[in-house]
């Protein structure tokens, strides 16, 4: 457990590291008793700082979305982070890595909701009915910890390594779509780096959204209509550098192209 | 220097005996250092002679070593192929007796069933589309008759491309109705996701792998026949299996299939 007031101080450190693109020691080094819930308290404090500067929360991202990664970290639920409006970049354009430390790219399925989702036990069917569309996404992650080395509480406090994201390609209605085996190929500079399918995230990305809504409920919150949910990487994350061309191709959902600058 | 016919026959005989007895033999490459890939296909043919003599019939081909990762692991830059016989096919959902296998592993693939002959060389992906009756989801259970899977290209080619048994899914899809390069695969082992993948992992597209096979066979003076089944290569990583496992998989836009394995018999 963190001591009272510590979350706000840690949030100030994380905010500084994110704003000035520098690494920081693992938070648990100075706060060895820190829990995952403490990490989410830091996220709440970060959100307070960001909203005070006019930044807007537009959704959530999930991490640790495979059973193998959860087992490695000794948990049985994914981790979640916040998506801020000013980190959403356009497809077909140039994505600047200025201000990032050691960015990596990964591909995933995004949900965009059309109705509020709330409660501890929302069903997959209710989620699909409340989904405006699903759409391809790539996420640029960047850890404020050296070499992406962290424990779960620290990475949660670092907002799940969130940095930038892009949604694009072909939006699809979620109902009636076979979302458990959508093929995904991630290419960098024309070279295929990863071959995967959407089933990589807990067998079906709706399962991640379901866990997100339950987690939000446990924090006294809901997933409001219009939220963007990044359901977790179906591929490994690959380092990117200025000059790289990234292309993520999704079965029957088009593709996303960005040039890294 | 090419292997002499007696060595080729001896290796083929040894591999067949290992298959029948359910045991492994030392790798071939260290016992015949000059062994070429052409030699290895002759050993494969010798092994097949025994299977046909035992009453099995040829029902198709499998393509192996289709991903860059596997090619790098065994030091080659093109796929290989083996022969599918009537004894290798199980029905969708069947339980395979564990004791009939030696050191099996699983791969999820797309199978092609031909409606016309494909005669290489000169076969393109478009020719493969035109000659294909349907595609289906497929589990290939690979197995090696070589000690500890210690294989290079000569060893696996000689050993019928490490083919074991296979199962085809019930759903048959016209190949023109699916994006084969982006067809996504998710495979589950006992209800947990074990691997995922996509068509492009197979030579950029499974169509390219089938074209490669037709062209390779064409140079050897043989062809792919209407009615044959072709396992086009693993969509994702090969994975380990254990007695009692149940595997299911789905290929987006194509369909599902499943296979199970008996528990090890209590009497050894």
- Chain A residues touching residue B199 (CB < 8 angstroms): 183, 195
% residues pLDDT > 70 (chain B):
98
Give the angle B239-B244-B247 at the CA atoms, nearest 5°.
45
The contacts of residue B10 (CB under 8 Å, 6+ apart) are none
Of A67, A234, A251, the CB nearest to B182: A251
Q: Per-residue pLDDT averaged across B4-15, rounded?
A: 97
Between B264 and A104, residue with greater pLDDT: A104
Using one digit for the tens of pLDDT, what is the confidence trace for A156-170?
999 999 999 999 999
Q: What is the pLDDT of residues B26-38, one digit of tens each?
A: 999 999 999 999 9
- Residue B159's nearest CA partner among B62, B265, B256 is B62
Cβ–Cβ < 8 Å for B74, B81? no
Radius of gyration (C-alpha) of chain B in whole angstroms: 17
Contact A111, A189 (CB under 8 A): no
Residue B250 near chain A (CB below 8 Å): yes
Q: What is the mean pLDDT of chain A?
A: 95
The reported pLDDT for the residue numbered A39 is 96
Is pLDDT larger for residue A176 or for residue A218? Answer: A218
Among the partner residues A185, A202, A203, nearest to B200 by beta-carbon distance: A185
Residues in B closer than 8 angstroms to A203, CB to CB, are 186, 188, 193
Test A185 with B182 for CB contact under 8 angstroms: yes
pLDDT above 90 as % of chain A: 89
B199 interface with A at CB cutoff 8 Å: yes
CB-CB: which of A66, A249, A251 is closest to B252? A251
Question: Residue A182 is part of which domain span?
Answer: 57-260
Q: pLDDT tens-digit profile of B32-81?
A: 999 999 999 999 999 999 999 999 999 999 999 999 888 988 888 889 99
Q: What is the mean pLDDT of residues B236-243?
A: 96
Three-point CA angle B171, B173, B176, nearest 5°? 170
Angle subtended at Cα A187 by Cα A184 and Cα A189, rounded to the nearest 5 degrees: 165
Give contacts of A181 with chain B, Cβ < 8 Å: 184-186, 250-252
Decide if domain B58-261 falls under CATH 3.30.420.40: no
Question: Per-residue pLDDT averaged across B208-231, rounded?
Answer: 96
Cβ atoms of residues B42 and B32 within 8 Å: no
The single-letter DSSP state of residue A72 is: H
Q: What percent of chain A is modeled with pLDDT above 70?
A: 100
User: So what's the pLDDT on residue B1?
Assistant: 65
Report pLDDT for A44: 97
Closest-CA distance, A170 to chain B, in angstroms, reads 14
Q: In whole angstroms, what is the distance from residue A196 CA to residue A193 CA? A: 10
Q: What is the DSSP letter of A76?
A: S
Render pLDDT for B116-144 as a digit per residue (tens, 0 to 9).
999 999 999 999 999 999 999 999 999 99
Predicted pLDDT of residue B162: 97
Label residue B229 by pLDDT band (50, 70, 90): very high
Contacts of A233 in chain B (CB under 8 A): none
Q: Where are the domains of chain B?
A: 58-261
The pLDDT confidence band at residue B268, using thresholds 50, 70 and 90, is very low
The pLDDT of B177-200, averaged and rounded, is 97
B78 vs B5: CA distance, rounded Å: 26
Q: Please answer yes or no on whether A180 and B250 come within 8 Å at the CB atom.
A: yes
| pTM score of the predicted model | 0.95
User: Number of C-alpha atoms within 13 angstroms, CB side, residue A90?
Assistant: 3
Higher pLDDT: B78 or B170? It is: B170
Is there a domain that residue A229 lies in?
yes
* H/E stretch holding B19: helix B5-21
Compute the average pLDDT of residues A187-196: 97
> Which chain A residues touch B186 with a CB distance below 8 Å?
180-181, 197-200, 203
Rounded-to-integer distance, Cα A244 and Cα B142, Å: 38
Distance CA B32, CA B44 (A): 15
How many whole angstroms separate alpha carbon A200 and alpha carbon B54?
Answer: 43
Q: Tell me the average pLDDT across B244-261.
A: 98
What is the count of structural domains for chain A? 1
Q: Which of A205, A223, A204, A203 is nearest to A213 (CA)?
A: A223
Write down the pLDDT at residue B265: 65
Question: Which of B71, B182, B206 to probe the A interface (max A CBs under 10 A)?
Answer: B182
- The yes-or-no verdict on residue B267 having pLDDT over 80 is no
> Has residue A150 got a pLDDT over 90?
no
- CA-closest candidate to residue B189, choices B232, B238, B231: B238
Residues of B in contact with A180 (CB under 8 A): 186, 250, 252
A12 within a domain of the structure (yes/no) = no
CATH of the domain at A151: 3.90.850.10
pLDDT in tens, A56-72: 999 999 999 987 788 88
CA terminus-to-terminus distance, chain B: 43
Taking CB atoms and an 8 Å limit, are A199 and B184 in contact across chains?
A: yes
B197 shares contact with chain A (CB less than 8 Å): yes
**Residues B28, B198 contacting (CB under 8 angstroms):** no
Across the interface, whether the CB atoms of A198 and B197 are under 8 A apart is answered: no
Summarize the confidence of residues A180-189 as an average pLDDT. 98
pLDDT at B266 over 60: no
Q: B201 touching A, CB under 8 A?
A: yes
Rounded-to-integer distance, Cα B181 and Cα A193, Å: 14
Q: SS3 sequence, chain A?
A: CCCCCHHHHHHHHHHHHHHHCCCCCCHHHHCCCCCHHHHHHHHHHHHHHHHHCCCCEEEEEEECCCHHHHHHHCCCCCEEEEEEHHHEECCCCEECCCCCCCCEEEEEEEEEECCCECCCCCCHHHHHHCEEEEEEEEEEECCCCHHHCCCHHHHHHCHHHEEEEEECCCCECCCCCCCCCEEEEEEECCEEEEEEEHHHCCCCHHHHHHHHHHHHHHCCCCECCCCEEECCCCCCCEECCCCCEEEEEECCCEEEEEEEC
Contact A180, A204 (CB under 8 A): yes
Average pLDDT of the residues in A95-106 = 96
Digit-coded pLDDT (tens) for A7-23: 999 999 999 999 999 99
Write down the pLDDT at residue B223. 92
């Amino acid at each position: 457990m963190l001591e009272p007031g510590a979350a706000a101080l840690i949030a100030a450190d994380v905010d500084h590291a994110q704003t000035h693109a520098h690494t920081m020691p693992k938070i648990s080094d100075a706060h060895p008793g820190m829990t995952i819930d403490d990490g989410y308290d830091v996220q709440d404090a970060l959100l307070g700082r960001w909203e005070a500067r006019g930044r807007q929360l537009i959704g959530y991202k999930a991490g640790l979305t495979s059973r193998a990664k959860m087992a490695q970290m000794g948990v049985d639920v994914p981790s979640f982070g916040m998506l801020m409006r000013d980190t959403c970049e356009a497809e077909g354009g140039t994505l600047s890595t200025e201000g990032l430390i050691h960015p990596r790219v990964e591909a995933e399925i995004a949900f965009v909701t059309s109705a509020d989702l709330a409660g501890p036990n929302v069903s997959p069917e209710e989620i699909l009915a409340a989904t405006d569309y699903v759409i391809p996404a790539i996420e640029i992650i960047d850890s404020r910890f050296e070499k992406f080395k962290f424990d779960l509480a620290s990475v949660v406090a670092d907002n799940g390594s969130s940095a930038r994201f892009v949604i694009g390609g072909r939006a699809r209605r979620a109902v009636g779509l076979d979302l458990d085996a959508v093929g995904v190929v991630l290419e960098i500079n024309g070279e295929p780096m990863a071959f995967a399918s959407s089933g990589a995230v807990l067998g079906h990305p709706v399962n991640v959204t379901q866990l997100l809504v339950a987690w939000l409920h446990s924090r006294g919150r809901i997933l409001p209509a219009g939220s963007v949910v990044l359901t977790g990487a179906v591929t490994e994350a690959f380092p990117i550098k200025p000059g790289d061309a990234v292309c993520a191709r999704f079965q029957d959902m088009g593709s996303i192209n960005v040039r890294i600058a | 220097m090419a292997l002499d016919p007696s060595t080729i026959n001896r290796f083929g005989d040894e591999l067949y005996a290992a298959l029948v007895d359910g045991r492994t033999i030392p790798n071939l490459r260290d016992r015949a250092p000059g062994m070429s890939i052409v030699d290895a296909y002759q050993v494969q043919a010798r092994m097949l002679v025994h299977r046909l003599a035992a009453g099995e019939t040829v029902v198709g081909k499998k393509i192996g070593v289709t991903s860059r990762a596997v090619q790098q692991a065994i030091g080659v830059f093109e796929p290989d192929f083996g022969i599918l016989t009537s004894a290798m096919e199980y029905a969708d959902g069947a339980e395979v007796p564990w004791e009939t296998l030696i050191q099996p592993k699983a791969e999820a693939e797309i199978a092609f069933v031909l409606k016309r002959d494909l005669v290489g060389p000169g076969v393109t992906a478009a020719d493969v589309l035109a000659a294909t009756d349907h595609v289906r989801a497929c589990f290939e259970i690979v197995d090696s008759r070589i000690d500890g899977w210690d294989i290079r290209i000569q060893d696996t080619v000689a050993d019928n491309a490490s083919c074991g048994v296979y199962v085809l899914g019930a759903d048959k899809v016209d190949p023109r109705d699916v994006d084969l390069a982006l067809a996504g695969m998710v495979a589950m082992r006992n209800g947990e996701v074990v691997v995922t993948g996509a068509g492009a992992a197979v030579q950029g597209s499974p169509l390219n792998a089938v074209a490669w096979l037709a062209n390779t066979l064409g140079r050897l003076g043989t062809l792919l026949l209407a009615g044959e089944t072709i396992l086009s290569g693993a969509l994702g990583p090969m994975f380990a299996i254990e007695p009692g496992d149940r595997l299911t998989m789905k290929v987006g836009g194509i369909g599902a299939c499943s296979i199970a394995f008996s528990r090890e018999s209590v009497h050894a």
